[in-house]
Amino acid sequence: MTLPRTIDVAIVGAGPAGIGAAVGFERLDLEYAVFEHDRIGSSFRQWPDEMRLLTPSFPANAFGVRDLNAITLDTSPALALDREHPTGDQYADYLEAVAEFHELPIETGVDVKAVVPDDGSADEQRGDEPDGTGGSNRGGFTLETSQGSVTARYVVWAAGQYQYPSSGSIPGASHAVHVSTIDSWSAHAERHSIDSDAATPGSDTEVESEEPSSSSPVAADGAGVATPAADDVVIIGGAESGIDAALGLADAGLSVTVLDDDGP
C-alpha cells in the first residue's frame, strides 16, 4: 500500500462523519484522503443485532433535508435500504454505497498512531512561500500511521467514540459488560450467568459520573456496583445505548433496572 505523502486534508475515520466530510471536500476539489483502521462503517457493524438507529429515516421532514440519517443531500438510507430504523450493518452498507458512488479515496487497514503539528520543515521541502507573518502559507500536521507518514494541512478527526469504551470511570465498572462488546442481547442473556454480569454501562459518556455520594445507589455496597435484589441486570446510563440495552434484555425475559444521574 502506498499512501499519499502530502495532501490538503486528512480525514481519520470512515464512519458517517468521515464519509460525509469526504464528499464535501470532493465537491470543493481539495486533495484529501480518508484513513480507516478497519473498514467503512466498522463501528456500526459492531452494534448488537437488536440495536437500531433511534432517529427514523424518512424522505420528508420539517427540517428541509431529504433524510435525517443521510450524510449527503442527494441520498436517503430510507430509500436505499427500505428501512425506517436501519440496523448497524444496514447503515454501514449505506455508507459503503455512498463511498463507492463518489469513488472516495479511502485507505482501510491504516492505523493513525500520532498527529504531530508541523514545525515548518515540511513547508520548506514543499517550497511554500512565507505568508507575510513570519510563517508559511501552509503549515499543517504530520500523521504517523502504520503504513508510513502523511503530511496534511488540515486534519479532520472522525474516529468516533464507540470503539473506545471506558470501563474504569467509576469504582467497579471493570466488572461490568460494555455495550460495545455485545453481539446480541438475547444471545448474551442465554450465554452468561446474570450473577457475573450484574451491571452494563451504556456508552463511555454515560458511564462517567461525579464521585458518588454515600446515598448514591452506585456506591451502595461500597464497591461501585449496586444490584437490587429483585432485578437480574443493572444498566448504568439511561441515554440511547443504555435504553436500547434495557429493551433488548427485557425482550430476552430479564428484569432490568436503569441507573442514570439525570433521566432518559
Lowest mean pLDDT among 154-163, 197-206, 223-232: 197-206
Q: What are the C-alpha distances in Å from 92 to residues 13, 76, 103, 169?
A: 13, 13, 16, 30
How confident is the model over 37-46, as a mean pLDDT?
95
Model pTM score: 0.75
* Type and span of the H or E element at 151: strand 148-157
Q: Identify any residues that bridge with 129 across adjacent strands, giving them in sequence order.
A: none
Domains and CATH numbers, the chain: 6-157 (3.50.50.60), 173-259 (no CATH)
- The rounded percent of the chain whose pLDDT value lies above 90 is 45
The helix/strand/coil state of 77 is: helix
Lowest mean pLDDT among 35-44, 118-127, 149-158, 219-228: 219-228
Q: What is the per-residue pLDDT across 61-108, written as a single tens digit (0 to 9) for each? A: 666 667 889 999 888 898 899 989 999 999 999 999 999 999 999 999
Lowest mean pLDDT among 40-49, 60-69, 234-243: 60-69
pLDDT of res. 199: 47
Q: pLDDT averaged over the chain?
A: 79
* Type and span of the H or E element at 100: helix 88-102
